[in-house]
Amino acid sequence: MQVNEKEFKPLIVAFCCNWCSYAGADLSGTNRLNYPANVKIIRVPCSCRVNPMFVLRAFQRGADGVILCGCHPGDCHYTTGNYYTRRRMTLLFSMLDYLGIERDRTRVEWVSAAEGAKFAATMNDFVATVTRLGENKRLEDLRCKKQ
Amino acid sequence: MQEAMIRRAKELLADGTVNRVLGWQRGEFVYDVTPAVFASPDELDASFVYNDFCGANLSKYLVAESRKEGKVLAFLKPCDTYSLNQLTAEHRVVRENIYAIGLPCEGKADVEALKAAGAAGITGIADGGDTFTVHTLYGDQTVAKADALAERCANCKSKQCVTYDELLGENGAVQNSHRFDMVEQLENMTADERYAFWQGELSRCIRCNACRNACPACTCEKCVFDNPQSGIANTAPADSFEEKLFHIIRAFHVAGRCTDCGECSRVCPQHIPLHLLNRKFIKDINELYGPYQAGADVAARGPLTDFTFEDCEPSVVHERGVN
């Protein structure tokens, strides 16, 4: 098998809530479902923990796409956390779009602990979308780039 | 107006209702006015000034002033009263320590615009309805308001004082403004054009923090941009990423609380249209979560500290057409 060294592999940061999506990722693993290894999962206590700064910082440190996964609305472990996330991220993504940053680089998905298959499918789809967009140029920090 | 204000301030100082007055102080030039606190009638006579250059939003100063001993008299324009309401709702001011006098406002002049319109050696200004009469060293000059108003006043959202203890003159009404027109124009551009536009604007930022310091919504005692651990504390942007980071986060931190008073753009030494970032959030909130004007109602719950079960999903951003 030949490996194309120049093939673009995006770096994806996935913020997963401890109670649903992180367990969902675990389930997709134990079910032997495939999703790309360039998805780096960061576990957060609740999707509501994700500060807009985290998303921007991820892009700064080299992420090409950022995805947020939380419990389905209504199922939040802390009852209402993801409702706040929903409003915040809507506004943040809209602002990024307003500044001309490709809107497909950011996404929010609700993945429950039982949806291992959905987790894998979501990640496959998101990685494919970001691969099509190519490298993150508009929110990059040159100082953080590998030479 | 200035005489009436000084007279009323002296009365309130004399009868002990207040022990100091927050207003504007004369500077070296007539358009150089600074917010100041006056403690005696003599100080008022010496340097209190009110004219069409008094654009500063005094509500920000009430955060510190209202926590001192005794009552403070504050002269507030309609914009400033929205900010005061918002600060009261957030428990950032002690409302009982403030005696607010609402002022009517027909728009403040932008001195840069006046100079661009040819006024040199400005020594005074008078409001003439649709025009400003500018007194200069070389005689009087009439400039149409359309050419000389500050941007925020040209797109005034409201001439109504929403909170006051007393009014000087008549209260105005909420205006039917076109303040979102420019935001809409930007939205209709392609992503590349928008990126180029903002790159051009934000790359001028020198990180003087004036927008944050003047903003009546930015009143945190510990600011993320002062945190030396953050890597972005009090330094000029070293990279285009930092410019965007600062401006996105600054605007996000006031989203849902910004009353659109326009101070950020007024104080920007680089003339970056920061209000366009705030207005984007306001427009989105209005469209997605229902009309909301921060500061209009003290009891209202802010859109970002509230939710409904039926809120739209963040994917609405992706479904907005192709540009």
Do residues B208 and B287 both lie within one domain?
A: yes
Q: What pLDDT, in 10s, does the model give residues A22-66?
A: 999 999 999 999 999 999 999 999 999 999 999 999 999 999 999
Distance from CA of B239 to the nearest CA of A (A): 7
Same domain, B171 and B26: yes
State whether B261 and B142 are in the same domain.
no
Structural domain count of chain B: 3
Same domain? B120 vs B228: no
The domains of chain A, with CATH numbers, are 12-142 (3.40.50)
Same domain, B183 and B315: yes
- Helix ranges, chain B (H): 2-14, 41-47, 59-65, 78-89, 111-116, 145-148, 151-154, 181-187, 191-202, 210-214, 240-253, 263-267, 275-289
* A118 in B contact zone (CB under 8 Å): no
- ipTM for the complex shown: 0.91
Mutate to test the interface with A, among B307, B311, B315, B316 (most CBs of A within 10 A): B307
How many CB contacts within 8 angstroms connect chain A with chain B?
Answer: 110
Residue A4 — very low, low, confident or very high, per pLDDT cuts 50/70/90?
low
B31 & B163 share domain: yes
Q: Determine the structural domain holding residue B56 and report its residue range.
A: 1-108+158-175
Measured between alpha carbons, how far is B161 from A110 in angstroms, rounded to an integer?
A: 44
Same domain as B314, residue B263: yes
Same structural domain, B76 and B215: no
Statement to judge: residues B307 and B185 lie in one domain: yes
pLDDT: which is higher, B170 or A6? B170
**Report field, pTM of the whole predicted structure over 0.95:** no
pLDDT at A3 over 60: no
- A1/chain B closest Cα distance in angstroms: 37
pLDDT interval class at A117 (50, 70, 90): very high
- Yes or no, beta carbons of B191 and A101 under 8 Å apart: yes
Q: Count other C-beta atoms under 10 Å from residue A75's C-beta.
A: 14
Nearest-Cα residue of chain A relative to residue B192: A100
Nearest to A16 by CA among A102, A116, A127: A116
Most A CBs within 10 A among B248, B276, B316, hence the mutation to make, goes to B248
Segment B313-317 mean pLDDT: 89
Q: B266-279, pLDDT tens digit by residue?
A: 999 999 999 999 99
Determine contact: B191 vs chain A, CB below 8 A. Answer: yes
- Give the pLDDT of residue B270: 94
B61 and B205 belong to one structural domain:
no
Of A83, A86, A99, the CB nearest to B314: A86
Decide if A134 touches B, using CB distance below 8 A.
no
The per-residue pLDDT of chain B, averaged, comes to 91
Q: Give, in degrees to the nearest 5, the angle at Cα A129 between A124 and A132.
A: 125
pLDDT for res B102: 95
Tell whether B322 is within 8 A of chain A (Cβ). no
Residue B272 sits in the same domain as residue B191: yes
Q: What distance in Å separates the CA atoms of residue A22 and residue A70, rounded to the nearest whole number?
A: 9
| Gap from A134 CA to chain B (nearest CA, Å) | 15
Residues B69 and B100 placed together within one structural domain of the fold: yes
